[in-house]
Structure formats: C-alpha cells, structure tokens
Chains A and B, each alone.
Chain A
Amino acid sequence: MGGEAVSSVDVSAPEPGVDVEAAEREIAGRSLTQIAWSRLRRDRTFIISSIVLIVILLLALLAPLITSLLGVDPYSLDKEAIDEAGGKPVGPWGGASVEHPLGVEWGTGRDILARLLYGLRVSLLIAFSATVLVVVLGTLFGIISGYSRGWVDGFLGRFMDLILAFPFLLIIIALSGSLTQRLTDLGIPEGNASRITYLILVLGIFGWPYLARIVRGEVLSLREREFVESAVSLGASTPRILFREILPNLWAPILVYATLLLPVYVAVEAVLSFLGVGVLPPEPSFGAMLADSVQYFTLIPSYLFIPGTLLVIVVVAFNLLGDSVRDALDPKAAHR
C-alpha cells in the first residue's frame, strides 16, 4: 500500500550539504489519511461532487450578498410583477425577467431566486447541525457501549432499540407545537429560531443510535486488537485508550456515515417543511416552496422544478461524495 511513493526517498545517510530537514520531511511517512487523500484526488466523481457542493455552500453562505447585488430579497412583495386581479405572475415562466431571474411567487410577487437561496441556508443549517449532533452523540455512546460491554452495553443497547422503535416522523409532527413552545420558554427566540432548534434536536436525538451501532461494532473489534492490550499493559487510563488509541481508528466509518446522512437530512427537512412542521412563512425553505408549488403546478411548472432540481443536486452530490469517501477510506477497495 503506497510503497511506490515512499521507496524513492529512502536516504539513510544524507549527503553533506543536503538540507537534512527537507530530506526528513520527505521521509515522513504517508498516513492512512494521506493515502485516502491521494486516492480522492484522482477520483473524478469526488472532484466534481465536491466542486458542486462548494458552489452550493458558497451560494448559501453568500445569499445576502448575492441577493443584494441582484437587487432582490426573499421577503418584499412586488405588486408590479403579479396580475392585480388573480395574483398570477406577469409573463411566462412564472414571471421570469431581468429583475426576477427565476420568476416570482404567485399572489405575493416575492422573488423565487432569493427565496431559493435563503431556503438553501435553512436546509443546510438544519442538516449540518443535526448531523453534527448525531456524530457527537453516536460516537460517544457507541464507544462507551462497545468498550464497556457488560450491563452498560446492555442498557445502552436496549435504550437505542427503544429510540429506534419510536415512529419518529409521527412524534416530530405530534410534539412540534408543545416542544417548540418549551424551547421558547427556555429562552430561544420565538418563531423560526425555536422551530429550527426543535428540528435539529429531534433529528439528532432520533438519529444517533444508527451511528452508535456502527461505532459500537467497530469498537468491539478494535478493543480486541493487541495495540489496545499494549496500551493497557503500559498502564494507560481508559479515557486515553478510548480517545487516543481507538477513536482515531473510527474516523473512516464516522466520516462516511456523516456524508451519507447529510443528504438524508436535507431531504427530511424538505419533507417536514412540506408537512408544515418546519419553518414558517415568510421564511422560505425547500419544503415550503414545494408545498406551495403543488397547487400551481399545471400552470407554472417552474415552481416545482426549480426547488426540486436544486434539492436533487444537493442530495445527489452529497451521496456521490459519501461514496467516494467510503471507497477511498476502504483499504480493500479496488484502486481505480
């Protein structure tokens, strides 16, 4: 593995005058991370999907800048762009024009492009935060469960079963009102801030057991490896063994799981907003835009296709990225 790249710099006695430090830097070996990275750099799928995702991330981060440059914003109503009587956008393609490149909303005249970019922000914020929460909780409980075994493992295992057995979509919808209110009482600003926090928390709390199970399985196998026994025989403390010896060996499965979980949460957020649990109007989101588009679909198909297409691009790009990362981190995967 990687032998061809290191054999060429095998200098045991540097020539006098040769920069010893530079030589040593070259001798510095290739870690598994570096090997994975060099594989990724040759993977066209990874390059394309990460470029797409970087563009999407920039669009989301710079949304206020972009919209102000274009002279649009997601909230203000434009009575000029819609028909006074029925609220139908003036012109073809949902009223696409120089002022409103992707058209305007039926009835309000709000700019679709601006709403799309702001919706992207909300979607990615929820998806990223929930994924981070899942990674933190799943890794922590997975390591503890796998390393401790015994009754701790048994208890955590049953607890995870319990969480997984909940019909979580129903619970999210059923409890959204009262729990969002509870978050508001706890000091989180009322309205969308509370609703977004609620979504992140429930998605994270119902999502971690899947990762914890993967991590637990890995830890069960890792803890039997002799390097763990070696650390024990040197007198290492349990936290040191867990976080210095075992955790660095878990990054591959965690990273793969996280990259594959992100698109799921982008889609789930859209579903929940569609069902009315997500952010409230006038704050835009993918799901809300899709929900609105349904009634105008036969008249103005672009309402459905614009957010739909972006959603598909985001989800597919994350999935392809996840696949590439998984292949690159798998030592048994065939070199391509």
Chain B
Amino acid sequence: MSDPTATSSQDIVEVDDLRVHFPVRSRGLFPRVIGQVKAVDGVSLRIPSGQTLGLVGESGCGKSTTGRAILRLAPITSGSVRLEGRDVTELTRQQLRPLRREAQMIFQDPFTSLNPRQTVGTIIAAPFRIQGVEPPGGVASAVRELMDRVGLNPEHVNRYPNEFSGGQRQRIGIARAIALRPRLIICDEPVSALDVSIQAQILNLLAGLQDEFGMSYLFIAHDLAVVRHVAQRVAVMYLGRIVESASRDELFSAPLHPYTFALMSAIPVPDPVAQAARERIVLSGDPPSPLDPPPGCAFHTRCFKAQDRCRSDAPALREMGDGHQVACHFPMAEPATDPH
C-alpha cells in the first residue's frame, strides 16, 4: 500500500496517477480548446479483494468521475487503471467487452438508471443478453433468483420501473449489477437519493452481497456516516486529488488533513452536550473552479491552517505511518482534538 507502483495480486483495482481532463471549447463555428477542467488530477488508489474503499468529497470534487473512469465510462487523459492486474486503460471498446463482466456499477439516481420502457425482467436480463451468458437453468430463472436475492418479489418481473419505489428501484439496479457476479462494483452514491430509513436497508443488502460473493466495492459518497458504515478504508478527495487516505478507524479518530478535520466536525453527534462542547470548523466559500485551480495546495483558499508555503507549493501525498497518507504541509497534530 505504501508503494503505489507495487502490484499486489490481491488488489482488484489498481489506479495510478489517473487524470481525467475535459477540454473546454470556445463557442462558434471553429471551436478552439480554451482550457481544461481537471476533474481528476492524479489519483492513485488500490482496492483489495473483498474490501470496500470509501471515496468521499464535496460535489464536483471528481469522485464520480474517478469511478466512471475506472469503468472507462469517462475518457482517461493519462495514468493507468488495472483490473485484476490487467491494464484496461488503452483497450478498445471491443477488447473491453469481456472485461465488463468483472466490473459493474450501481448508479446514484434510481429514477434515471432504469429504462422506463423496459420491464424489470428485461432490465435484469440485460447483462446476460449483452454479454451472451447463458446461466445454468436459463435467463428467466436467473432473473427470478436475482430478484429474490435483492429482496424483490420475483412475480413482479413483468412490471415497469414506474411502479416501484425509489428503494425498490435501487434493488433492481443492484440485481442488474450483480447478475454476472463481478469482482468489483462501483457504487456511485447508491443511497444518497433515498430516504434515510431505506438507506440502511440498501446498505445492509450491499454488505450481505459482499459477504456472499466476495466482491470489492468502490463506495462513492458525500455522507461520511454512510462511508463509516460500509468502508474498511476511506480516501478523501478535494478538487480532483486525494488529500487523505487511511483505514476507516484511523481516519475517523485521527484525521490529519484540515479538510478531513473540517468534514468530521460537521458530522452531528447524537448527544446534545457533546455536540455543544465540540468545536466546529465551518469552511467558508465554495471549492475553487477545477477550470482554474489555485496555485500550491488547492485547499489553501479555505484552509484555517494555510501559510505562505501552501500558496506556492503543492503538497504531495505522503505516508504518515500505518498506511495513513496525507497531502498537507501542516497536518493536524495527533490526536486531533484541538486545531489551534
């Protein structure tokens, strides 16, 4: 884990220095490239077999783009993505097709991720049909088994998505994602569109499926409580880069990056006395535009610990021991109870 270039056979996903830059073109008859939106700017991560990596950050920080780039749904500008040791960065669409079985995605919005013109049966059978896989016992019975496994009534196989609730629709999306028994599932904010009472059910379903099939998850979320519930390891992103990465317990008990610290302080504590006694760091302003990131550390514009060095020198991600990595010149002192 400390050496990002080392290849471990246990890692399902190895992402090295991934960059996804979107060109911005001028309007008009002859558009010119006038800038780059650096949605993902040098992200490296590893996901061990059967484990969950939580990827958190504000909206627009590039966490969804990272997940989509791993599945080659977003164009990779540079860097590499390896799935089960195989480099998929340069593969063509045809070469990629058989590998699609190994990695699937659960989408954020259960209302747009299911085709409204297809029945649930058609939607869940799509992985078998597209990949040309004939499951033992036939597609129809496989679809029924999947529906049963994710907690849907198999008799509803001929219904359309518009007849289901958000939670049920997300279960349909999960059934589709696990149909081919992939090794990796990118969960792109799978519960953020759901009611809190439904969120727990879906999270428990995902946890149960992971135990049963040994899949790895890249769990993208902005809700730290959700990530804490599901992930063994957590990476925090800010403006296209990972600023801190650690095991879950380490990150939540001793955050080193001021940004992580501020995020943690925003989690409400279910105890009014403790909540009142706690110090809250409120970040002012919005994240800077990824079109024109500030020089030095991208976070210095909002950081309460920023000094001159932060404005000129971009900090690299460095190892702080025990697999805890942070990209900050002045990390929080351990234990991080008082930022001053």
Cross-chain contact A234 with B158 (CB below 8 angstroms): no
Contact with A along B115-158 (1 / 0, CB 8 A): 11111000000110011000000000000000000000101101
Determine whether A97 belongs to the interface, using a CB cutoff of 8 Å to chain B: no
Report the minimum CB–CB distance from B274 to chain A (whole Å): 40
Contact of B119 among A29, A225, A227 (CB under 8 A): A29
CB distance from B323 to the nearest CB of A (A): 30
Choose among B108, B109, B114, B155 the residue with the greatest number of A CB atoms under 10 Å from its CB.
B155
Given contacts A24-B155, A227-B115, A230-B107, 6 further A-B contacts (CB under 8 A): A3-B163, A29-B160, A226-B108, A226-B112, A235-B96, A245-B115
A83 → chain B closest CB, angstroms:
64
Q: Mark A1-31, 1 if CB is under 8 A from B, else 0.
A: 1110010000110000000000110011111
Name the B residues within 8 Å of A236 (CB-CB).
126, 130
- B155 in contact with A226 (CB, 8 Å): no
Write the nearest CB–CB distance from A3 to chain B, whole angstroms: 8
Q: Mark contacts of B92-122 with chain A using CB atoms, 8 A cut-off: 1 yes-contact digit, 0 otherwise.
A: 0000111010011101110011111111000
Contacting pair B96 A30 (CB below 8 A): no
Contact A235 B97 (CB under 8 A): yes
Q: A230-B107, A233-B73 are in contact. Are A240 and B130 (CB under 8 A)?
A: yes
Chain B residue contacts of A2, Cβ below 8 A: 162-163
Of the four ranges (under 10, 10 to 19, 20 to 34, 35 or more), the interface on chain A belongs to 20 to 34
Contact B159 A28 (CB under 8 A): yes
Docked Cα-Cα span, A24 to B154, in Å, equals: 10
Q: Is the CB of A29 within 8 A of B159?
A: yes
Residue of A with least CB distance to B68: A229
Closest chain A residue, CB of each to CB of B188: A226
Separation in Å of the A22 CB from the closest CB of chain B?
A: 13
Once the chains are docked, how many angstroms separate the CA of A224 from the CA of B105?
Answer: 16
**Is B53 among interface residues, defined by CB-CB distance under 8 A?**
no
Closest residue of chain A to B163 (Cβ to Cβ) is: A29
Majority secondary structure of chain A interface residues (helix, strand, loop or mixed): helix
Q: How far is the CA of A179 from the CA of B118 in the complex (A)?
A: 45
With A24-B155, A27-B158, A29-B160 known as contacts, the answer to whether A230 contacts B176 (CB < 8 A) is yes
Query: A231 on the interface (CB 8 Å rule)?
Result: yes
Residues of A within 8 A of B113 (CB): 225-227, 229-230
Q: Is the CB of B162 within 8 A of A225?
A: no
* Closest chain B CB from A167 CB (angstroms): 25
Q: How far is the CA of A231 from the CA of B100 in the complex (A)?
A: 11
Measured in the bound complex, the distance between the Cα atoms of B121 and A29 in whole Å is 11
Q: Are B100 and A227 in contact (CB under 8 A)?
A: no
Task: Give the distance in Å from the alpha carbon of A32 to the alpha carbon of B109 in the complex.
Answer: 20
What is the bound-complex CA distance between A6 and B153, given in angstroms? 14
Is the C-beta of A174 less than 8 angstroms from some C-beta in chain B?
no
Interchain CB contact under 8 A, B155 and A12: yes
Q: Mark A247-280, 1 if CB is under 8 A from B, else 0.
A: 0110000000000000000000000000000000
In the complex, chain B residues 48-98 whose Cβ is within 8 Å of any chain A Cβ? 68, 71, 73, 96-98
Q: How far is the CB of B199 from chain A (nearest CB, A)?
A: 19
Give chain A nearest CB distance to B184 CB in angstroms.
Answer: 11
CB distance from B272 to the nearest CB of A (A): 40
Is A232's beta carbon under 8 Å from chain B?
A: yes
